[in-house]
Amino acid sequence: MTTDGPPTLGLVLAGGLARRMGGGDKPLIEIGGAPILDRVLARFVPGCAQVILNANGDPGRFASYRLPVVADDVPGFAGPLAGILAGLDWAAQNRPDLAWLASAPADCPFLPSDLVPRLHAARLTQDTPLACAHSGGRRHPVVGLWPLALRGDLRHALVNEGLRKIETWTARHGVALADWPAEPIDPFFNVNTPEDVAEAQRLVARYAA
């Protein structure tokens, strides 16, 4: 566990529908001989006080990871904000000592190992309550840092306003950008299609990533 920044709960978002992959669990696809989720956890866990998974459906498919699995409680498939809210709710009930949650998708096989401290550094430097990753000229709003103090506001936005777009909500509060280089591998490359799986395998083979 890193000591850079305040203790932070890590949330791995594994609740997507994987439509472009024909359904199933993208995090369990093997890249370089290991499931993507294994690769995510190897990079994410050291920066967190504890890590939990957000996944809908049968939690038993992740039983071997021995991590708490929390499901969305917002009706319907409300997208990643619902997963983030589920993580914030879990923290409030189970880890009230942690004032921060960092989120990362479960389909990013090259996630940076310095993710959490860099997000904290960005929000402190830019004096904002939220932070998200940025690489190659693109924001990655799902890879972010969230204060538990905004949990009620997020629930209101999701339930009462029907808001679904992450950047619409974060813009209300201010979000810092933590920048990473996109070469030779974009650390936020995510696996959405069979073509992405092939590209990830190529990158692992070429760069021993």
Using one digit for the tens of pLDDT, what is the confidence trace for 57-95? 899 999 999 999 999 999 878 899 999 999 999 999 999
Residue 12 within a domain: yes
Whether pLDDT at 5 is above 90: no
Whether pLDDT at 116 is above 90: yes
pLDDT in tens, 120-164: 999 999 999 999 999 999 999 999 999 999 999 999 999 999 999
Residue 1 within a domain: no
Residue 2 within a domain: no
Is residue 66 classed exposed, middle or buried when 0-12, 13-18 and 19+ CB atoms within 10 A define those classes?
exposed
Whether pLDDT at 44 is above 50: yes
pLDDT, average across residues 8-15: 94
Give the CATH number, domain containing residue 174: 3.90.550.10
Residues of the domain holding 18: 8-207
Residue 24 banded pLDDT, cuts 50, 70, 90? low
Residue 109 banded pLDDT, cuts 50, 70, 90? very high
Instruction: Report the distance separating Cα 154 and Cα 170, nearest Å.
Output: 9
Residue 3 within a domain: no
| Half-sphere exposure of residue 112: CA atoms within 13 angstroms, side-chain side | 23
Please report, for residues 11, 42, 114, 131, the alpha-carbon distance to residue 110 in angstroms, rounded to integers and kept in the order given. Answer: 17, 10, 12, 19
User: How many domains, the chain?
Assistant: 1
Summary mean pLDDT of the chain? 93
Whether pLDDT at 179 is above 90: yes
Please report, for residues 136, 143, 199, the alpha-carbon distance to residue 131 in angstroms, rounded to integers and kept in the order given. Answer: 17, 9, 28
Residue 17 within a domain: yes
Residue 8 banded pLDDT, cuts 50, 70, 90? very high
Residue 45 within a domain: yes
Residue 94 within a domain: yes
Residue 103 within a domain: yes
* Between 11 and 18, the higher pLDDT residue: 11
Residue 21 banded pLDDT, cuts 50, 70, 90? very low
